[in-house]
Every structure is written in C-alpha cells, then in structure tokens.
C-alpha cells in the first residue's frame, strides 16, 4: 500500500474548505494512495484551558503538559476535534476516528526534557497492523495524537511529531497542511517561498533563527521522518483548491523537503 499521512494543525481545521475533504475522499477512491489523517487541536485546547482556568505555556513550540492540562487536551483532541473531522469525511466517504491510546496505536516514552515539558512524550512504537486493518476495511483513519506508555501512563504528543512517527513506521509520504503555501526565506529584503529545500538548509535556517515558534516542531518532524524511512515530505496550503490532488499528481506548489546528498550516504 502507498500511504499518505496528512497532518492537519488545530489552528487551521476550522478554516479548511469543503474542497479539502472532497480531495481526501477523491484520493481514497482513486485507490493509488491510502490517506491517513493526524490532527492537532491547539486552538480549541487553548480556548478550553482558558475557560477552565488551567494555565499553560510553551517551550520551543511544545506545550508544557500537567495532568490538568492533559485532561483538557484529551477532551479536545479525542472528543471534539476528532469527531468533527470524522463527520466531515463521513459525508463523503468512510472514516474511523481513533486516539493514539486506543489499541496501543501509539506508545511513547517521556521526552528528554520532561522536567520542563511534563507529560509530553516521544513516540517509540506505532501499531501499524491496527492502521492497516482500519484502511483495509475501507476507512480513512483519523488519529488524535495521544499515546500510552509504561504502566498506566499517557502522554501528549505534538501532532507534527506523531504524524512523523506514523509516516516513518509505514514508510509513507507525509504532508503538513498549513495556512501558508510553504516555507519562506528572506532574500534581499523580500520573502521568497522555497519550493524545494534540503535537510541541511533547514537546519541552518533554524540555527540562524529564520524558522521560529510553531514552525520549529513541524520542520523537525519533517527531518526526523525523512531520516528514518519516510518518503517525500511536503508542506502545502490546505486553503487552496485541490492542493491535495495536486500533491498526489506531482504538481503541488508547496515546499518539498528532501535529504541532502550527504545524508543519503551516512
């Protein structure tokens, strides 16, 4: 199977046009690619945290997660956001909503700086058999980025990194849906969109402070996916008509990230 992991950020989900969901259904029905949705829920999580009076903060683009925060995160991701996406897709095709906690779909360990980030995890195992079973039954998996761990533990997983781990495990192509056409770089005082960029160039841009905030985990997730077996990684504008169809047809106007020649020979 050719899998296409599509990561939808929480900040863009409520802006996505019907055409976006039409594209996903069309890709599934064409049969060459099997789409898998991994979603965030940052906007709703922030709203719910504010409503419940639970404080939160970010470190390097990742949410510091206490038990209180994680309760809200799970409610937002596996409840509201996941089911919203499933309903949108079910109007067009068959979809199956699942949390990374269900069926041990995602298993994680604490991140290295857990003393700063709290209950944030790094995915170490992906239950690919469960994903393949959902797909084989004609469904599009819609996955919320929570993970189980040792004992009764649970973790908040950055959605970009969860999508990366799933793409690596399935040797899938990975697509990040954004509200911008791709990655930009300042050149001669003007912003220029990069249509193609290598891992080495991106690492240099991070070191120079040209990639910041929420884009950092997205870029790191893309690099991690490429370095551990995923296929092509692309960032596309989900608000543009037929952007996903253009992606599978090879005519997308986003940013494609590839490994440099040096990385290929390591």
How many distinct structural domains can be found in the chain? 1
Strand 140-144 relative to strand 121-126: parallel, antiparallel, unpaired?
unpaired
**Residue 134, strand partner residues:** none
Are 37 and 145 in contact, with CB atoms under 8 Å apart?
no
CATH code of the domain containing 61 = 3.40.1160.10
Mean pLDDT of the chain: 91
Spatial distance between the Cα atoms of 116 and 127, rounded to a whole number of angstroms:
28
Q: Is residue 42 part of an annotated ligand binding site?
A: yes
Backbone phi, then psi, for 119, in 5-degree steps? Answer: -85, 55
> Which pLDDT score is estimated for 186?
72
The 10s digit of each residue's pLDDT in 183-220 is: 887 777 788 888 899 989 998 988 888 887 767 777 88
Residue 72 has pLDDT above 90, yes or no: yes
Q: Is residue 214 part of an annotated ligand binding site?
A: no
Q: Is residue 156 part of an annotated ligand binding site?
A: yes
Task: List the domain range (segments joined by +) for residue 206.
Answer: 3-264
């Amino acid at each position: 199977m050719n899998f296409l992991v599509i990561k939808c950020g929480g900040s863009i989900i409520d802006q996505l046009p019907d055409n976006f969901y039409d594209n996903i259904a069309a890709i599934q029905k064409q049969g060459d690619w099997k789409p898998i949705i991994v979603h965030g829920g940052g906007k709703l999580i922030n709203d719910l945290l504010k409503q419940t009076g639970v404080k939160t903060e970010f470190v390097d683009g990742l949410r510091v997660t206490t038990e209180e925060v994680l309760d809200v995160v799970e409610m937002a991701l596996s409840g509201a956001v996941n089911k919203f996406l499933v309903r949108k897709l079910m109007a067009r095709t068959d979809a199956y909503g699942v949390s990374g906690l269900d069926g041990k779909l995602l298993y994680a360990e604490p991140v290295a700086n857990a003393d700063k980030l709290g209950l944030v995890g790094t995915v170490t195992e992906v239950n690919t058999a469960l994903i393949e079973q959902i797909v084989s039954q004609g469904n599009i998996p819609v996955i919320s980025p929570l993970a189980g761990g040792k004992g009764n533990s649970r973790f908040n997983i950055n959605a970009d990194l969860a999508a990366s781990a799933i793409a690596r495990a399935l040797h899938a192509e990975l697509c990040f849906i954004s509200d911008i056409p791709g990655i930009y770089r300042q050149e001669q005082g003007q912003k220029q969109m990069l249509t193609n960029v290598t891992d080495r160039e991106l690492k240099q841009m991070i070191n120079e402070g040209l990639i910041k905030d929420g884009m950092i985990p997205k870029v790191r997730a893309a690099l991690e996916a490429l370095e551990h077996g995923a296929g092509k990684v692309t960032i596309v504008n989900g608000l543009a008509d037929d952007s996903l169809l253009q992606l599978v047809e090879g005519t997308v106007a986003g940013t494609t990230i590839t490994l440099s020649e040096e990385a290929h020979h390591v």
